[in-house]
Chain A
Amino acid sequence: MWELIKINKRNSVLLLGAMGSVLLILGFVLGLLFGGPEAGLIGMLIATGVWLFMMLISLSSGDQIMLAASKAVPVTHDVHPVLFNVVEEMKIAANLPKMPKIYIINDPAPNAFATGRSPETASIAVTAGLLAKLDRDELQGVVAHEMSHIIHRDILFVTLAGVMLGSIVLISHIFLRSMFYSSLGSRRRYSSSSSNQGAAQLVMIVVAILFAILAPIFAQILYFALSRKREYLADAGAVRLTRYPAGLAGALEKIGGSNINMETANKVTAPMYIANPFRGKKKVNLYSTHPPIEERIRILRNMTHGAAYANYEKSYEEVTKRSPVVPTSALIPEEVTIRQATTESKSTQTAKQQARQVGDLMRQVSQFAFVTCACGLTMKIPPNYNGDKVQCPRCKKFSSISKQ
């Protein structure tokens, strides 16, 4: 695990370095274009300034922005004791210094993500749909996957790489827009110089435009390639923590089987989720943020001999016939046996019951009051209801609402 963290850090630094160079070159080229030969350095400075500004914001409050954007609500132990217990179990297994903060997202699509700068400031958010669909072992698998992202420092990597990508996209976007609108003006400005210089200028403009178009694409491909690899590694880490590959496999089957799009996710936040929050696109290409979920399930189901990284690696190679995914120095010889299942499966529940459970959970998170009438009917009172009594629609009796 620690070897893996070390290698992950090195890869993150390499990737950030590569993306950083793209950013600097972009700044340099644009500087040259707008201000002449001396302005290349100034362009680089401006690009660095944009990046620094965005980085400061995202490091100080990136997790809060992410949680707010996905409409995640912080919850207490009483709202969902099982979720809290499972997170604490994984915290203990991973020797994490501090309990992550726990959030529930009001969304019926099953999904989850982790965010934060460091293991000490991490947060885990799961959707109400996930809690309703998964049994205890499966939930443990998902939480362990997120916990692995935390201990592998993927949450910091996603933040830093996301900001870098954002800066590149922002700068090239502004440049392309300005080129589009000022193309006439700039042509007039250079018309007084000799034709030779004008030709050089034209070549320069074409190069700059090409670079501005290609830079974000290149940065994205780099970013998503590493992000896909991190998903496999987090799966391997989850199995090692829980000692139970079937738990995560079952969870991914249920997550993959759902065809609900997440309403609270967007293109920027998508790489952070356990599975791609957008349905429909099945084929994996250079722009995929996640490996195909069926393949991840097959790898997990194929693990029958043990729960160590080496077992995951072996299963990965058998299933995908591709080159290794886990770095060799992380494959320490160890014997990790798979444990048995602990809970009954939730498949006995009907879809209707699950939908009701999602609704109740979402109301609980949004602080609805639950009042049970003497006739057995449970009424769910929204928090903005002002009276202190409510009439039962079935037996017409009044019950008082106890505010929590």
Chain B
Amino acid sequence: MGGLLIGLLVIVGLIVLVAIMVIGIYNALVGLRNQVDNAWSQIDVQLKRRHDLIPNLVETAKGYMEHERGTFEAITEARSRAMGANGAAEAGKAEGALTEALSKFMLVVENYPDLKANQNFLSLQETLTSTENKISFARQGYNDQVLFYNNKIQMFPSNIIAGMFQFTKRDFFEIENEEERNVPKVSFN
């Protein structure tokens, strides 16, 4: 009788222990998934910041660079295309084009020393440099987060819980275009 009771208690104890572990892992996975989503939205925040920055930048520079209408048009057009893009693939492509247009613009700026002496423009330039950096760091941070999340749902024992509750692997952010991979560098020298 006593042996039976002890056996029963041990079984109940084990079940409780397993339940606690499952709950713990489940909560950790939910937390990680939210962090992945949060990192993804961080990229959007920075891209939107860049969109907001452009009208001001163009306005400030226009007066100094009258012969560069083509450059401004390219930027404005790339911006509106990026803002109106549908779906991740299209948006990625449009944002890439905008990055390219902006880095071209920054190269042209070199020919206008008056503009480079303008305090307002200098501060805009710093904001733009930083925004470009933040975009690429946000992508990097997202990929780090995805790497960790994917590792977690493939590793034992969390893979069992992940399978039970449909935690699926996330895709890395990758720039398809080989050329673009080298672009995110905006140089102001």
Which of B75-83, B84-92, B144-152, B158-166 forms contacts with chain A?
A: B144-152
Taking chain B's interface residues, is the majority helix, strand, or loop, or is none over half, making it mixed?
helix
Q: Is the CB of A89 within 8 A of B126?
A: no
Report which A residues bind B (CB closer than 8 A). Answer: 1-2, 81-82, 85-86, 88-90, 92-95, 136, 243, 332, 334, 339-340, 342-344
The interface centre, meaning the residue of B129, B144, B186, B187 with most chain A CB atoms within 10 A of its CB, is: B144
Q: Is the CB of A93 within 8 A of B137?
A: yes
Please, what's the 1-or-0 string for B28-57, where 1 marks a CB less than 8 Å from any CB in chain A?
Answer: 000000010011001000100000000000
Q: Is the CB of B185 within 8 A of A92?
A: no
> Do A342 and B134 form a contact, CB below 8 Å, given A81-B123, A85-B126, A243-B140?
no
The interface centre, meaning the residue of B39, B46, B127, B141 with most chain A CB atoms within 10 A of its CB, is: B141
A residues in contact with B130, CB < 8 Å: 82, 85-86, 88-89
8 Å CB contact of B145 from A88, A90, A95: A95
Residue B133 interfacial (CB < 8 Å): yes
Given A92-B137, A95-B39, A343-B188, 16 more A-B residue pairs with CB atoms under 8 Å apart are A1-B144, A81-B126, A85-B127, A85-B134, A88-B130, A89-B130, A89-B137, A92-B138, A93-B137, A95-B144, A95-B145, A243-B140, A332-B147, A340-B185, A342-B186, A343-B189
The interface centre, meaning the residue of B42, B126, B134, B147 with most chain A CB atoms within 10 A of its CB, is: B134
A residues in contact with B151, CB < 8 Å: 332
Q: Is the CB of A82 within 8 A of B126?
A: yes
Please, what's the 1-or-0 string for B104-126, where 1 marks a CB less than 8 Å from any CB in chain A?
Answer: 00000000000000000001001
In the bound complex, what is the Cα–Cα distance between A95 and B42 (angstroms)? 9
CB of A376 to closest CB in B, whole Å: 14
CB of A324 to closest CB in B, whole Å: 21
Q: Is the CB of B134 within 8 A of A339?
A: no
Q: Is the CB of B189 within 8 A of A344?
A: yes
A337 to B, closest residue via Cβ:
B181
CB of A56 to closest CB in B, whole Å: 29
A residues in contact with B140, CB < 8 Å: 93, 243
In the bound complex, what is the Cα–Cα distance between A93 and B42 (angstroms)? 10
A residues in contact with B145, CB < 8 Å: 95
B188 to A, closest residue via Cβ:
A343
In the bound complex, what is the Cα–Cα distance between A340 and B147 (angstroms)? 23
Interface size (B, Cβ < 8 Å)?
26
CB of A1 to closest CB in B, whole Å: 7
In the bound complex, what is the Cα–Cα distance between A332 and B130 (angstroms)? 30
> Do A90 and B126 form a contact, CB below 8 Å, given A2-B148, A334-B147, A342-B187?
no
CB of A397 to closest CB in B, whole Å: 23
B residues in contact with A343, CB < 8 Å: 188-189
In the bound complex, what is the Cα–Cα distance between A339 and B39 (angstroms)? 21
A93 to B, closest residue via Cβ:
B137
Q: Is the CB of B185 within 8 A of A89?
A: no
Q: What are 7 A-B residue pairs whose CB atoms fall within 8 Å in the complex?
A: A82-B130, A85-B129, A89-B134, A93-B140, A94-B141, A332-B147, A332-B151
B residues in contact with A2, CB < 8 Å: 148
A residues in contact with B144, CB < 8 Å: 1, 95
CB of A6 to closest CB in B, whole Å: 12
Q: Top 5 closest A-B pairs, CB basis?
A: A85-B130, A93-B137, A344-B189, A92-B137, A95-B141
A residues in contact with B42, CB < 8 Å: 92
Q: Is the CB of B126 within 8 A of A92?
A: no
Q: Is the CB of A88 within 8 A of B134?
A: yes
CB of B52 to closest CB in A, whole Å: 16
> Do A93 and B187 form a contact, CB below 8 Å, given A88-B130, A342-B129?
no
A84 to B, closest residue via Cβ:
B130
A residues in contact with B134, CB < 8 Å: 85, 88-89, 92
Q: Is the CB of B185 within 8 A of A342?
A: yes
CB of B186 to closest CB in A, whole Å: 7
